[in-house]
Amino acid sequence: MKLIEKRRIGSKVKKIYEEPKTPYERVPEHPAIPGIPFQIDFLVRQLGFQF
């Protein structure tokens, strides 16, 4: 869960987070990892994991 926004309402702070993701879902979005997601996807299918 990453913090998207903080809003101050009087003396309280309202925090808004993005939807939680697993590390498997976050890897393809990372800019430093261009080809790895395809390899990971291939391995996951080979091993038969289900998410």
Residue 32 — φ and ψ, nearest 5°? -85, 0
Dihedral of the alpha carbons of 20, 24, 25, 29, in degrees to the nearest 10: 120
In tens digits, the chain (51 residues) has pLDDT values of 789 999 999 999 999 999 998 877 787 777 777 766 667 777 777 777 665
Instruction: Specify the pTM.
Output: 0.47
Q: What pLDDT shows up at residue 36?
A: 65
Q: What pLDDT shows up at residue 35?
A: 66
Neighbours of 21 (CB within 10 A): 12
- First-to-last C-alpha distance (Å) of the chain: 18
